Amino acid sequence: MASNTLDNSSKARVVVLISGSGSNLQAIIDQTEQGQLPIEICAVISNKDNVKGLERAAHHNIPAIVLDHTLFDSRESFDLRLQEIIDAQSPDIIVLAGFMRILTEAFTRHFEGKMLNIHPSLLPKYTGLHTHRRALEAGDKEHGVTVHFVTSELDGGPPVIQARVPVLDDDTEASLAARVLQQEHHIYPLAVRWMAEKRLEMRDNKCWLDGEVLPPSGHQY
């Protein structure tokens, strides 16, 4: 369990939403257990059952909830139930870590300013899916990853932090994805730490860190 020396009352309450492997969740768990993140992960929620991220949560005694989106007849009804489950945890921060759902405007509004997402591209490039393939097809020499606040615009909220990686001549989608993922595991815990330490906020659709507005692409890692 967490070896963080802060007691739970001084830790930010975090809910993590996943759909799959949960390697970003793992990076956040690891830093928390090493005492580098003043947070308590109060729940992991997955819209898919039997995914590796749920095993990771169980392994670290973090309560996990499966909310299968296929059992709902509309995007609205799923998001409403998800919102209720998240609200029941009274979280300070909601972390989307490979949560592969398009969210309704009502849901994103409800959590605006508290919800972060990680997206595997240098936003505003390549919103949506298949970002690594699209970077390769475009002949980009550079690719990367962005953590951003979630707003109602898909992958469109203000960037908090970006990390860049080179695209190599012999890269495949898989090799490029792996290089990007390594950077994800550095920048996501850092952004969560800034939130937990109340150093980061979204105001006027911009990101502010330590009271200074961040550039439009966010902090460059």
Out of 120, 157, 158, 189, the residue judged to bind ligand GAR by CB under 6 A: 120
Q: Are 69 and 40 in contact (CB under 8 A)?
A: no
Shortest distance in whole angstroms from residue 7 CB to ligand GAR:
29
Question: Is 22 among the residues that bind ligand GAR (CB under 6 A)?
Answer: yes
CA–CA gap between residue 43 and residue 91 (Å, rounded)? 9
Say if residue 124 is preceded by a cis peptide, omega within 30 of 0: yes
Please check whether residue 178 is in contact with residue 21, taking contact to mean a CB–CB distance below 8 angstroms. Answer: no
- Asked if 160 is part of the footprint of ligand GAR (rule: CB under 6 A), the reply reads no
- Distance between alpha carbon 173 and the CA centroid of its chain, in Å? 21
Pick the stretch among 14-22, 79-87, 135-143, 161-169 that binds ligand GAR (CB under 6 A): 14-22
Residue closer to ligand GAR (CB basis): 22 or 218: 22
Site string for ligand GAR, 43-72 (x = CB under 6 A): ----------x-------------------
Give me the count of residues in the chain. 221
Which tokens in the block code for residue 189?
């815990």
Region of 102 please: left (phi>0), alpha (psi -120 to 50) or beta. Answer: beta
Contact segment (CB under 6 A) with ligand GAR among 8-16, 18-26, 108-116, 167-175 equals 18-26
Contacts with ligand GAR, residue ranges (CB under 6 A): 18, 20-24, 53, 97-98, 118-120, 181, 184
Q: Residues with catalytic annotation?
A: 119
